[in-house]
Structure 1
Amino acid sequence: MNLVKRLATSAFLLATLLSAPVMAQSFTITDVAGREVTFDKPVERVILGEGRMLYAVAPIEKEDPFAKIVGWRNDLWTTDKDGFETYVAKFPKGKELPFLGNLTDGTLQTETVVTLHPDVMLLPIGNKAAADEVKLEDMLSGIGVKIVYIDFREHILANTEPSLKILGKIFGHEDRAEAVAAYWKEQMARVTDKLKEANPPKPNVFMYRAAGLVECCGTFGPDNFGLMVDWAGGHNLGSDFLPGYTGSINAEQVVASNPDIIVATGSNWSQTKDAKNYVNVGPAAAATADDSRKALNALVEAPAFTGSKAVANGNVHAIWHQFYTSPYQFVAVQQMAKWFHPELFADLDPDATFKEFHEKFLPVAYQPGYWVDAQVGE
């Protein structure tokens, strides 16, 4: 072999050896928008385009959910202050991270994104239309930033498991993502399998979305909490009127539908502008359960509800709003199943389920308070 060929061969072998570790660490994911996104190295810097994505990141990056996060939207602070405080108390770094604006209302500052030098920006699938409109992908790809879409809100059956697995790859813990997804399916089956066998009549359920925070009567269509109602053995009245996962119907339609059960969603919205009369349920809310119950009692005094079978029979409840944008839907399904079919699910303990999930997967301790019953007529 002549010198030129030997040098060429040596150079090729050297390049192969040097590139092998890099190639071995490259990976490709398909996000919930169907886009293939390739990373040529492990992800180290992440922006959460929705703060509540922390609820999905936490069981996958358990040691420190903020380890790779360099910025996040402020919606966890504004829509679930107790959840925010729970995490930043244990991981103070979270409180120091820069807040970003919201892409859908035009407050996201791309200059801030650039200065944070992220490898990836995680966005909820509901942001894609706004991102496409401003050509965000083209803008960020020019500086080496990937966009990945996940979804725990709009199509929860189709997208919860894939979204968990996407996060598992991005954060380098695919085994944990698989374990969380398996737990999700196992706990969901404790309700759906029993309902399939017993096939009880379905009560008519009105889901009162963000009760007291938005005008009556916000609710859910055939996905999200609407689908959770179905999984729990109820008939979601909002699905009769709304094609999408969320929307509003008028009070007259609620009156005409005469729900058997009313379930309001609530959270600590104390940092949301003009928030009032909401029901505070969620982490740590057990300590203020009496106040939450009073708020719920007051809400169902509205004309849309006063004459309903739900109020007459004392079948009015509130549940944590953030079950609707996290991979914890199985807890809500279990609790609603107990409300809808109390005898069939007498032995089911959603509090114990969620406590076990915290112990197995989450870095923070379980704090009860995620639901409350009204005391109608008292």
Structure 2
Amino acid sequence: MRLFNRVATAAMVSCVLFTAPALAETVKIRDVTGRDVEVEVPVKHVILGEGRQIYFLAALDREEPFKRVVGWRDDLSKADPESYAAYLAKYPDIAKLPAFGGMKDGTFDIEQAVALKPDVVLMNVDAKTATEEAGYIEKLGKVGIPLVYVDFREKPMENTEPSMRIMGKLIGKEEKAEEFIKFRADNIARVTDVLAKADAKKPLVFVERAGGYSDDCCMSFGNENFGKMVELAGGVNMAKDIIPGTFGTVNPEQIIAANPDQIIITGGNWQGYVPGGAWVGVGYGADETEARRKLENLTKRAAFTGVTAVKDSNVHAIWHQFYNNPYQFVAVQQIAKWLHPDLFKDLDPEATFKELHERFLPLPYKGGYFVSLNVGQ
């Protein structure tokens, strides 16, 4: 009997050891700015410095993407209302989450953040200047709250992988982060490997950022973000040598003089920002017929007068938010298909996006992310 008791006790101890949750540990995380930040992981409470950071948080925890979120910036509902509505329908409690104004411009409420007792505040690197000027890192540090920078927008083709690894480490989903990173890399390779073997002429591409959002023309991208996606997809980014950074503006005269072979306009449903605007409302479950109509209207502007892309109907619209999340590989595939339809006739970017949803994301897939004036595409 005594032997039985000892065996039973050992079995119970073993059960406890193997079923107890992983103990928290303090680790140093190097963020995308090169800062070494001490964080106790896995974190239980997170403030999202941008609501659209849910794009990658959801890819790491499809069952409970909001479980750790105690506060977030209020941009998702305006920048991507369809996705927000879909998340709200599935997770109605997000309506109660404390929301902040624009952290990028320094209106972050530090007292509200402290009151929410986060284990970490996650900020996009484009908020770095405002964050430093306001002294947020020091103020949060005094109460033991670390701030970590990630980046999916300024240099997404460089910083997406480290940002996903940072988030994986923070929430204890490192294996899932590596799985996603491999899926992303493999799908980019489906484009770059083909191009490396082909002797294909690279068309000149003008990418207009948020065309129709305002009356001004024309915002574009330098050698990063959508500009880099065009290069990966086998094109030449027209604004590469005009815009020194990631974002900038191109004069209408420069577009006419360059005479691009292809035009890609980023769009989304920005009714919350510019009601009734000329923007092309592509995105989650978008009305593609209406999006195509608005895309055609944008070709009538003076900046596109007589250019080859318009004459040949090689004008396309793509979801703007690809510029700010880890799903850029879908955009790379779609752009490659537009630029080199013969090389990529068997590539199906929509199927890739569906697989992404099925393997990683909590929402069912809905189309509407791309439209073209070229009826063959």
**Structures share fold, TM-score greater than 0.5:** yes
Unaligned 5+ segments in structure 2 are 1-20
Deviation for aligned residue 1:22: 9.6
Q: CA separation of 1:315/1:136 partners in 2, compared to 1, >3 Å: closer, same or farther?
A: same
- Which residue of structure 1 lines up, in the alignment, with residue 233 of structure 2? 232
Task: Tell me, yes or no, if structure 1 residue 323 matches structure 2 residue 306.
Answer: no
- Residue 23 of structure 1 contacts residue 40 of structure 1 at CA under 8 Å; is this kept in 2? no
> What is the distance in 2 between the residues matched to 1:340 and 1:370?
17
Deviation for aligned residue 1:40: 3.3
Q: Secondary structure at the match of 2:271?
A: coil
- Aligned AA (2:337): K
Deviation for aligned residue 1:84: 1.0
Deviation for aligned residue 1:375: 6.3
- Which residue of structure 2 lines up, in the alignment, with residue 70 of structure 1? 70
- Which residue of structure 2 lines up, in the alignment, with residue 343 of structure 1? 342
Q: CA separation of 1:207/1:70 partners in 2, compared to 1, >3 Å: closer, same or farther?
A: same
Equivalent positions of 1:136-285 (< 5 A) are 136-214=136-214, 215-273=216-274, 276-285=277-286
- Residue 154 of structure 2 contacts residue 225 of structure 2 at CA under 8 Å; is this kept in 1? yes
Report % sequence identity: 48
Q: Secondary structure at the match of 1:240?
A: coil
> What is the distance in 1 between the residues matched to 2:202 and 2:350?
24
> What is the distance in 1 between the residues matched to 2:82 and 2:257?
36
> What is the distance in 2 between the residues matched to 1:247 and 1:280?
22
> What is the distance in 2 between the residues matched to 1:158 and 1:375?
32
Q: Map Cα deviations across residues 309-337 of structure 1 (whole Å, 9 max, x no partner).
A: 00000100000000000000100000000
Q: Secondary structure at the match of 1:195?
A: helix
Q: Map Cα deviations across residues 181-217 of structure 1 (whole Å, 9 max, x no partner).
A: 0001000000001101103111010101001113210
- Residue 330 of structure 2 contacts residue 352 of structure 2 at CA under 8 Å; is this kept in 1? yes
Q: CA separation of 1:201/1:133 partners in 2, compared to 1, >3 Å: closer, same or farther?
A: same
Q: CA separation of 1:169/1:318 partners in 2, compared to 1, >3 Å: closer, same or farther?
A: same
Q: CA separation of 1:228/1:22 partners in 2, compared to 1, >3 Å: closer, same or farther?
A: closer
Deviation for aligned residue 1:77: 1.1
TM-score (norm 2): 0.91
- Aligned AA (1:95): A
- Aligned AA (1:231): L
TM-score (norm 1): 0.91
Deviation for aligned residue 1:23: 7.8
Deviation for aligned residue 1:346: 0.3
Deviation for aligned residue 1:371: 0.4
Deviation for aligned residue 1:78: 1.2
- Aligned AA (2:33): A
Unaligned 5+ segments in structure 1 are 1-20
- Aligned AA (1:338): K
